[in-house]
Amino acid sequence: MDQLTYGDIKAATERIAGRVRPVALAPVDPGAIRTAGGGPEPCEAWLALEYMQHTGSFKARGAQNFIQAHRDAGALPDAGVTIASGGNAGLACAWAAQQQGITATVFLPTTAPAVKVAKLRSYGADVRLVGTEYAEALAACQDFAATTGALSSHAYDHPLIAAGAGTLLEEIHERIPGLDTVVVAVGGGGLFTGVATAARHHGIRTIAVEPENCRALNAAIEAGRPVDVTVDSIAADSLGAPHTSAMALHAAQQDGVHSVLVTDSEIIRTRQALWDHRRVAVEHAAATALAALTGPDAAYLPGPGERVAIVLCGANTDPGDLVH
């Protein structure tokens, strides 16, 4: 499936209602974000605090939608669900499986940090450590699914995962009447696909933000097809997909979507500023979205009076490198 529909997102919204935390919104101080033309009228901006979601990221939405949809269809196997991911997707899958009373078998390389393994196990996951590289863990996960019949999940490239992520925009739109623009960081493209699809339905512009050296979606737009890219960014732990999904590219090719790039130095500066001024400790991926609107070389300048929501997508980070 290369195209996500607004109907998919509406179905996901109904399916996971009451099963995830509604997003909290925090207004940005007037004048904190420069506007195009440098006029006196500021934009109106809000931070969407999705890092407060279950498991610390937006991924809980897609994982819950994925498992609930299969349960509703009577398609949840006795072997449960499986995924190869020690990051936000793996945590979300394990949490959603626990909520649904099924087993999550999560495959990781033996080099995975002990803290990640412990967190996954705290959600009741059966953690399997295989090989020294992610590719080996993924292959073992695929073999496990084929052998046991376990339901195979994906970090981003599945319509149910992307639709679940799109429920975030539905909540933001409901809370901010007249919203003009949503700004979101892009990795593999699950969050972007869901958000951009819902945003287009409501006539809202989407700004897709990627690090300069981690630009899977931006490169796909230029090439007209998904292409492999070099991954070398401070935000690669969350945004480091080697290529984007066909769904994400299709969403990016629609009206109202703008792809922009930011430097690692801007991401680091923005993440530190969130801590300095709001005492918010987020992962670099979350700071990536806001970095597009701040600093002397902002990649996107809203118009005067423009109503903007910036998604802070996750906070599974070590805050030890923030200057206190």
Considering the domain architecture, whether residues 126 and 274 belong to the same structural domain is answered as no
Considering the domain architecture, whether residues 166 and 208 belong to the same structural domain is answered as yes
Considering the domain architecture, whether residues 167 and 291 belong to the same structural domain is answered as yes
Helix axis angle, 264-278 relative to 284-291, nearest 10°?
100
Domain containing residue 197: CATH number: 3.40.50.1100
Considering the domain architecture, whether residues 145 and 166 belong to the same structural domain is answered as no
User: Domain limits at 135?
Assistant: 78-149
Q: What is the pLDDT of residues 151-200, one digit of tens each?
A: 999 877 899 999 999 999 999 999 998 999 999 999 989 999 999 999 99
Rounded distance, CA 51 to CA 58, Å?
7
Residue 155 lies in a domain: no
Considering the domain architecture, whether residues 203 and 293 belong to the same structural domain is answered as yes
Q: What is the pLDDT of residues 252-270, one digit of tens each?
A: 999 999 999 999 999 999 9
Confidence of residue 251 (pLDDT cuts 50, 70, 90): very high
Last residue of some domain: 121, 149, 177? 149
Rounded distance, CA 179 to CA 34, Å?
18
Considering the domain architecture, whether residues 175 and 131 belong to the same structural domain is answered as no
Considering the domain architecture, whether residues 125 and 250 belong to the same structural domain is answered as no
Rounded distance, CA 211 to CA 268, Å?
11
Residue 157 lies in a domain: no
Q: What is the pLDDT of residues 21-68, one digit of tens each?
A: 999 999 999 878 888 876 667 889 999 999 999 999 999 999 999 999
Number of structural domains found in the chain: 2
Considering the domain architecture, whether residues 216 and 288 belong to the same structural domain is answered as yes
The pLDDT value recorded for residue 38 is: 67
Confidence of residue 1 (pLDDT cuts 50, 70, 90): low
Give the residue, 172 or 108, on which the prediction is more confident. Answer: 172
Considering the domain architecture, whether residues 308 and 233 belong to the same structural domain is answered as yes
Q: What is the pLDDT of residues 192-229, one digit of tens each?
A: 999 999 999 999 999 999 999 999 999 999 999 999 99
**Which residue has 């002397």 as its token pair?**
296
Confidence of residue 85 (pLDDT cuts 50, 70, 90): confident
Residue 154 lies in a domain: no
